[in-house]
Amino acid sequence: MSATAVIDIGKTNVKLTLLDGQGATLATRRRANTVLQAEPYPQHDVDGIWHWLVDTLHSFAAIAHVKAIVPVTHGATAALVDDTGLVLPVLDYECALPESLNHDYGALRPGFADSFSPDLPLGLNLGRQLYWLARTYPEQFARTRHILTYPQYWAWRLSGVAASEVTSLGCHTDLWQPTAGTYSSLVEQMGWQPLMPPLQAAWTPLGAIHADLAARTGLPADCQVLCGIHDSNASLLRHLNGGKRSILSSGTWLIAAALDTPLGHLSAGADMLANVNALGQPVACMRFMGGREFAAIAGAEPVACTIDDLQRLIDQGTHALPCFAESGGPFVGRSGSITGPQPQTPAERYALATLYCVLMSDYCLEQLQADGPVTIEGSLGDNPFFAGLLASLRNTDVTVTSDASGTTCGGWMLHRWGQTPELDSTEAPPLALQGWQDYRQQWRAALANA
């Protein structure tokens, strides 16, 4: 049986999925994506991921004939490599970089009208990471042969072929001009363009896996490694010809992507941005850390709620106000709070987290002036109330895909370019709880007064 292996490295978990020629899942394995608190700075456990990946690919080789491996990863991450490996550890984008560098970096970074990349906290602007690394570790940086965005680092590690790709370059990096389709002025001023490998399409086969990797895993010697893609753009792939529609891609981050929405609606101060899709086209987006904030409100051991739990919180006016994560979003810098009677049970905390994520998603869609149908993908699609509550606020069709991971499906599509898997989509009937519209207005008023 011919199959595709998709590596999906999210901020919280790493997943490897084996899919057949029709996009059906044959096997899935996952592990936590641990950030190592090590010297000289917090870093991704790339060696731990690598050893797990090799072992898992070995087990997959016994299931099917793996013809291709496709890397899909989160954004705002890059690896600096020479001909033998990393010259510095892969920096975690949630590392608190020194405030002192912001003045000098701010004078170099391109304007929002050129990059559509807002000024973000921590290391969420990849250009800021690279600038700090170049200044702090000049000897190591000088040894760099390639700056590899994260999907392409894994493609390079698997195949030995270096490439650049637009979805990761265009993900709030300050490195790319989405409307011009070229590197930004920052890249030119810093002299980094020679370190950027040739641009390749996300679906381009870069080459076969290393011979020693084939021997260790039992994979075919001609198994191809594709260039790879940024995760939320993988989720967008099957919707690119879908007309005026918004996609909510949910995981650690919830990314609201409004297809066919003019970039003129974007505001840098609200963490709005233009991502770049696999075809090189800018896409208006807004996001917040939906998965992490849900977990912060619901607690370490979430217990699913009922409609009665939701209604009780609405009736008593219990609101969660942003934000419950430090990394980005339209209300970054505010401290999350719960007003009104406090939730008393795990189920009520789950209900409050659900209401919060619905209201935040609705807010993002409104700010994007997205008034068309909405498709929900990822973890929030499993929440039995999220889609219905959103549908009752948006007054438009809201559907949930049967694929719990649009990123994995998008990775498979890169190998099967031109094919779209048959996926069920369920339209969510509006869940119009009593007082729900008033509850939203109260929440919006509290935001304005915070």
Residue 427 token pair: 């339209």
Beta bridge partners of 121: none
CB 57 within 8 A of CB 154: no
Residue 195 token pair: 């370190």
Residue 283 confidence (pLDDT): 95
Residue 165 confidence (pLDDT): 98
Residue 184 confidence (pLDDT): 98
What tens digit of pLDDT does each residue of 255-305 get? Answer: 999 988 899 889 988 889 999 999 999 999 999 999 999 999 999 889 999
**pLDDT level of residue 423 (50, 70, 90 thresholds):** low
Residue 344 confidence (pLDDT): 95
| Sequence-distant (≥ 6) Cβ neighbours of residue 7 within 8 angstroms | 14, 15, 16, 53, 69, 70, 71, 72, 73, 154, 411
pLDDT greater than 80 at residue 35: yes
Phi first, then psi: give them for residue 434, nearest 5 degrees.
Answer: -60, 130
Residue 403 confidence (pLDDT): 64
Q: Does domain 232-449 have CATH number 3.30.420.40?
A: yes
pLDDT greater than 90 at residue 148: yes
Residue 308 token pair: 């009665």
pLDDT greater than 90 at residue 30: yes
Nearest CA to 70 out of 417, 445, 440 is that of 417
For 409, what's the count of Cα atoms within 13 Å in the CB-facing half-sphere?
22
Nearest CA to 229 out of 3, 411, 417 is that of 411
- Please state the rounded mean pLDDT for residues 339-367: 97
Q: How far apart are CA 359 and CA 377, in angstroms?
A: 17
Could you say which architecture CATH assigns to the domain 2-227?
A: 2-Layer Sandwich (3.30)
For 380, what's the count of Cα atoms within 13 Å in the CB-facing half-sphere?
38
Residue 404 confidence (pLDDT): 62
Residue 349 confidence (pLDDT): 97
What tens digit of pLDDT does each residue of 189-230 get? Answer: 999 999 999 999 999 999 999 999 999 999 999 999 999 999
Average pLDDT in the chain: 94
Angle subtended at Cα 90 by Cα 84 and Cα 94, rounded to the nearest 5 degrees: 175
pLDDT greater than 70 at residue 402: no
Q: Pick 240 or 157 by higher pLDDT.
A: 157
Buried/exposed 273-309: b ≥16 CB within 10 Å, e otherwise: bbbbbbebbbbbbbbbbbbbbbbbbbeeeeeebeeeb
Residue 405 confidence (pLDDT): 65
Q: CATH 3.30.420.40 residue ranges in the chain?
A: 2-227, 232-449
- Please state the rounded mean pLDDT for residues 92-104: 93
For 2, what's the count of Cα atoms within 13 Å in the CB-facing half-sphere?
10
What is the identity of the amino acid at 52? Answer: W
Nearest CA to 119 out of 264, 271, 255 is that of 271
**pLDDT level of residue 248 (50, 70, 90 thresholds):** very high
pLDDT greater than 90 at residue 333: no
pLDDT greater than 70 at residue 364: yes
- Whole-model pTM? 0.90
Lowest mean pLDDT among 59-73, 325-339, 434-448: 325-339
CB 169 within 8 A of CB 186: no
pLDDT greater than 90 at residue 235: no
**pLDDT level of residue 61 (50, 70, 90 thresholds):** very high
Residue 111 confidence (pLDDT): 96
